[in-house]
Amino acid sequence: MGWAAGRFLPAVRGRPGRSELALGCENPEGQCGPIQVSLAHELRRSAGDATEDLLEATLTLRNTSDRSCEALAGFLTGARPGSASADAQVDVPLSAAGLGDREDDKRRRLKDCRQAVGAEGFRCHYLEPAASDPGTSTTRAALLAPVVDILAEAGPCRVALFGSSTEPVFFEARQGPSSRAWRMGRRVRLEPGRCQAVKMFLLLHPGEAPQAWKAFHRFGHREDFPAVPWLRQVRAHYLIFSPPRRPGPSRDGYDLDLKQFKEFHVGLATQHGYY
């Protein structure tokens, strides 16, 4: 499979009504208002074999003015897992935020991680929607991790898109007359003279969603500290720290009360049969 269909086409846009810039392999540099923009691609190996199946795209933005400015930096790709756009589906790591929604909730947040991408398209957000998507304050699909795995029932492979775990990002299926493209991006604020790089990844793989997760953990996520060994033996959906109803030590937070967390929460979960 050629990478021409899988390359990212970045777009940088300033405030509404301001300039907009599209870059590609033929024109990897440009100017969008006061912002200098450059694009670089690199093929990587997502696993230990010799197959280069991961495309890393880096968009570098530099503010050349003496004032702070903001831009919407994004990547557009036409890569898809099958020839037909109508049967596309996505497998996304949805958060549990929508499970407790009322039936009359206007957001109608999604509850199933496998979703069909219909004629209306698909849009999801990682971290606060407004941090990546101007004018958006809520989302139907809040992600636990910035990974979208795109599949088709008769497709020869899957296409996964992911970004950095430390940066907000939105993913959007854009519907055209005869095809569908995927866009991902976020807002970037630049102080005078400062430079910032935005990285996005595109993976072609023949497996299931966990294969995309493994690539994300290798290239899009970084652990600042080694994991506590006993936590690898615990399975928890979510945790809420609050003062206990019975006499005992106060729960001040994960980092300040790790010893009590281990003794109290794991014991409580075991008592109720969660593990």
Spell out the domain ranges in the chain.
9-219, 229-271
Kindly list the strands in the beta sheet with 9-13, ordered across the sheet, starting from the edge strand earlier in the chain.
20-22, 9-13, 69-77, 180-190, 169-175, 122-126, 142-143
Residue 273 pLDDT:
43
Half-sphere exposure of 110 (CA within 13 A, CB side): 21
pTM over 0.85: no
Residue 165's CB is within 10 A of a number of other CB atoms, namely 17
Spatial CA neighbour of 179 closest among 274, 40, 83, 92: 83
Query: How far, in Å, CA of 77 to CA of 6, rounded?
Result: 6
Residue 5's pLDDT is 25
| CB within 8 Å of 182: residues ≥ 6 apart | 76, 77, 79, 80, 148, 150, 159, 161, 171, 172, 173, 174
User: Which residues are 175's β-sheet partners?
Assistant: 180
- Specify the pLDDT at position 232: 76
pLDDT reported for residue 255 = 57
Each of the 275 residues of the chain gets a pLDDT tens digit; together they read 222 223 445 566 655 445 788 888 888 898 888 889 999 999 999 987 768 899 999 999 999 999 998 888 989 898 888 766 667 899 999 987 777 777 667 677 888 899 998 777 899 999 999 999 888 888 989 999 999 999 988 788 999 999 999 999 999 998 765 567 899 999 999 999 999 999 999 999 998 999 999 999 999 998 888 878 887 777 665 555 554 544 555 545 555 556 665 565 554 444 444 33
Reference 123, options 136, 109, 110, 140; nearest CA is 140
CA distance 69 to 14: 8
Compute φ and ψ for 85, nearest 5 degrees: -90, -15
Q: What fold does the segment set 9-219 form as a domain?
A: Beta-galactosidase; Chain A, domain 5 (2.70.98)
